[in-house]
Amino acid sequence: MTMNGSVDLNALEKRMKQLELNFQQQNARKKPTNLGMGNMSNSQQTSSARPHMSLNFSNSSPASLMKSSSGAVDTAARKKQISFALPASIPQPEKTQESEKIDARLQEVIRQTGKLRIDSMIYEAKVEQFENLGQIGSGTCGQVYKMRYITGHVMAVKQMHRSGNREENKRILMDLDIVQKSHDCPNIVKCYGTFVTEVNVWICMELMETCFDKLKKKINGPMPENILGKLTVSVVKALHYLKEKHGVIHRDVKPSNILVNKLGDVKLCDFGISGRLVDSQAKTRAAGCTAYMAPERISPDPSHPNYDIRADVWSLGISLVELATGVFPYHNCKTDFEMLTKILEEAPPELPNDQNFSIGFKRFVSFCCTKDYRYRPKYRDLLEHEFVRRHEHSMVDIPAWLRKVLITQTKAASLDRCGNPMQGNIASSNDPFAFAAEITKAQFAKHTRTRSLGTGFEFTKIPPNQTNKPTSSKSIFR
């Protein structure tokens, strides 16, 4: 400022230039060095630069700075001299085609929620109309409850929690999709309807008596060949139906996913980790139970990394060996690594010669347990096999056999509990329900093998810290 109080613009301009030069020098000293990143291009350096303010004093004389040609103060020209370099806006991530399909399918399922189709009748149902009769099973993705609808129909309700995880939503929708579309297949568990909210998914299915994994534990020994013949016919037809009608591979065939009802009907269930076939091949590897996994899924051929429905044929063969002998083929393995090593390096399991198995049954199991998938049969070949054709039309009284197994096991448990002095005299207790409670507790305490990478249900396992009733309707359906 001069003596007469006016502003010295030349001195102010020099001062501002000096401040800008000092500011640039300080930034240059603070700029991090390029550690192991090589030479960056000018475009990379420009795109990674921080926002900055530039001051232009090239035309900062008093006349050009303060006045326009008309004599008025040119504010527009003054604003142009101060500019800010801002980074480009970050684009929002676009939804993939797969996620869009999942969302669309979920919305379609939500529109059908609350509708039960039972015996050609459609009911507009609410969860308050269900009576919980107890928990009958549990798995990694939810619990299964026995429930009675107000019409008197008793069904199995699988309750799964929606966590928002994309992979879990895929499993839920896959299970829903398959059971809803397979209503015309008598070898697959029927679906009556679904309830879907932002918190939970309920799948209402027909109630089956038990699974073959639980029956194996009750028998504690080999199962009759004629029963396994009927099981084989039903499972092969169900797998063939999934492949031909819906292009799906199950990927979790094992005794706990093969159910039977009081009428003797054998059906396949649990499709949460089923996979779509692309050109008759599956690409996802981390799915299914390790113990029943085919060799080509454990150690894939580099020239043929994908697998097809013959992987489920191997799983069926292992299941038949386990049920026919009463012992899992790799039961002596202490770790999963040891078991996988035996599957890859040792000869495949087969039915022993010292038991009275038919030649056809032994040949069928050998075909299923062929290590080289290229020589393993597909479903059409299995349906034409002599073992399947013989049992497809044979007369087997499965309901009578099932009743005998359940009654015999109940009597054995009763004698064991009453005659064992180490357990105390439960029968003489004043509590009339003490005996039943102890029997139930002992059954649920049995060890169940669950070496699984997927979401298979074990119908004999109840996880710790779980109550025996589902979440109340007020907290699930709002």
For the packed helices 166-181 and 225-246, what is the interaxial angle rounded to 10 degrees?
Answer: 110
Name the 3-class secondary structure at 190.
Answer: coil
Tell me the residue ranges of DSSP E strands in 23-120. Answer: 52-55, 82-85, 115-118
Polymer length of the chain: 478
- Torsion angle of C-alpha atoms 146, 322, 270, 137, degrees rounded to 10: 30
Report whether 191 contacts 205 (CB < 8 A): yes
The closest of 260, 213, 269, 217 to 402, measured between CA atoms, is 260
Q: Which helix (H) or strand (E) holds 135?
A: strand 130-139
- Report the C-alpha gap between 448 and 436 in whole angstroms: 21
From the candidates 213, 252, 265, 308, which is the catalytic residue?
Answer: 252
- Torsion angle of C-alpha atoms 401, 407, 409, 410, degrees rounded to 10: 160
Name the 3-class secondary structure at 386.
Answer: helix
The closest of 220, 274, 221, 273 to 246, measured between CA atoms, is 274
Name the 3-class secondary structure at 321.
Answer: helix
CA distances to 31, 148, 221, 249, 275 from 246, in Å:
60, 31, 37, 9, 10
**Is 279 among the catalytic positions?**
no
Terminal-to-terminal C-alpha distance of the chain: 74
Q: Which residues are catalytic?
A: 252
